């Protein structure tokens, strides 16, 4: 039944992705009444599907890449709903909901994928490490997206173009708050994820783990994250400079993720 519920979630995510377009871009409140409930329903069935999948497989955490992909989609969907609950805006759904739809599409119709074989993965600690980092990546994505939209809205207001295609964006203050608050949420997730990963690495690889350039890059990413929060908080950074800073850190995050995929200390999958 887990595959069935996930396919229902995919269908609802698709409907929400389509309905949010006229709701946001053309200011049609009736479509908003469709987009939001279907997004909530999709999140619910997505959660039920992932829970049933784990129970049926007799483990309490994801153990293959399709399950991790589904978890990432669930985290992004949950983040979108939290942003709506806090700021009453569905504008980010124009970008987030299609991404979630694509993330969940493969797990729904092609659930078979090689599983993690390492006993450390099956112990659950490595999954906590990955899940925490995924949550941090989701928060960084929201921060970058909000910063980019802040810049677009700022330029629209300066040009005094009331009929711009981006007139549906929320106020600048709302976008800035979303960008900053998601940074604050993502930081403890990244810190905990790196801490769990470091403790596991001590047992799996030993001190040589910390000589891996990819691992050093991960901790450099963490330092950059701290710097970004500090600069935004104390210098009041926003607009173009905030976009440049967020983009740079997000690029570093993607580089670290790609590098770790090929790292000898991050291979937990059977051929």
pLDDT tens column, 31-53: 889 999 999 999 999 999 888 87
pLDDT at 48: 92
pLDDT of 87 > 90? The answer is no
What span, in angstroms and rounded, lies between the C-alpha atoms of 74 and 138?
10
Least confident of 72-81, 104-113, 143-152, 219-228: 104-113
What span, in angstroms and rounded, lies between the C-alpha atoms of 22 and 122?
44
Q: What value does the mean pLDDT of the chain take?
A: 77
Average pLDDT over residues 12-25: 87
What span, in angstroms and rounded, lies between the C-alpha atoms of 204 and 266?
11
Residues 269 and 135 in one domain: yes
pLDDT of 240 > 80? The answer is no
Least confident of 54-63, 100-109, 243-252: 54-63
Count up the domains in the chain and report the number: 2
User: Of the candidates 7, 119, 121, which has an alpha carbon nearest to the alpha carbon of residue 53?
Assistant: 7
Confidence grade of residue 119 (pLDDT, cut at 50, 70, 90): low
Tokens 């992004």 belong to 76
pLDDT of 270 > 50? The answer is no
Of 80, 113, 146, which residue constitutes the final position of a domain? 113
Tokens 């993607």 belong to 254
Residues 142 and 245 in one domain: yes
Q: What are phi and psi of 27, to 5 degrees?
A: 55, 55
pLDDT higher for 266 or 32? 32
Residue 58: is it exposed, middle or buried by C-beta count within 10 angstroms (0-12/13-18/19+)? exposed
Helices 65-87 and 29-56 sit at what angle, rounded to 10 degrees? 140
Least confident of 12-21, 72-81, 119-128: 119-128
Of 113, 144, 159, which residue constitutes the final position of a domain? 113
pLDDT of 113 > 60? The answer is no
Q: What is the pLDDT of residues 147-203, one digit of tens each?
A: 788 888 888 777 776 566 777 778 888 888 888 888 888 888 888 887 777 767 656
Q: Which domain holds residue 149?
A: 116-271
pLDDT at 43: 96
Of 90, 113, 136, which residue constitutes the final position of a domain? 113
**What's the CA angle centered on 78, arms 150 and 81, to 5 degrees?**
60
Task: Please state, as a whole number, how many other Cβ atoms lie within 10 Å of the Cβ of residue 247.
Answer: 13
Residues 126 and 86 in one domain: no
């Amino acid at each position: 039944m887990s595959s069935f519920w996930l396919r229902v979630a995919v269908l609802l995510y698709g409907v929400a992705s389509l309905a949010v377009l006229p709701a946001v871009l053309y200011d049609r409140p009736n479509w908003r009444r469709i987009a939001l409930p279907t997004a909530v329903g999709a999140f619910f069935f997505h959660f039920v599907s992932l829970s049933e999948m784990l129970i049926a497989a007799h483990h309490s955490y994801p153990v293959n890449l399709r399950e991790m992909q589904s978890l990432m989609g669930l985290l992004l969907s949950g983040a979108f709903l939290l942003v709506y609950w806090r700021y009453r805006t569905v504008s980010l759904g124009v970008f987030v909901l299609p991404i979630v739809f694509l993330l969940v599409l493969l797990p729904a119709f092609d659930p078979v994928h090689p599983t993690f074989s390492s006993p450390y993965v099956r112990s659950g600690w490595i999954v906590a490490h990955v899940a925490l980092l995924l949550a941090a990546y989701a928060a960084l994505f929201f921060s970058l997206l909000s910063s980019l939209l802040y810049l677009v809205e700022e330029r629209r207001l300066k040009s005094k173009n009331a009929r711009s295609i981006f007139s549906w964006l929320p106020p600048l203050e709302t976008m800035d708050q979303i960008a900053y608050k998601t940074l604050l949420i993502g930081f403890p997730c990244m810190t905990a994820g790196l801490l769990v990963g470091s403790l596991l690495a001590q047992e799996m690889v030993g001190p040589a783990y910390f000589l891996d350039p990819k691992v050093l890059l991960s901790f450099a990413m963490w330092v950059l994250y701290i710097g970004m929060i500090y600069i935004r908080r104390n210098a009041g950074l926003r607009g173009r400079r905030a976009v440049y800073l967020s983009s740079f850190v997000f690029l570093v995050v993607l580089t670290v993720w790609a590098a770790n995929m090929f790292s000898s200390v991050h291979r937990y999958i059977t051929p």
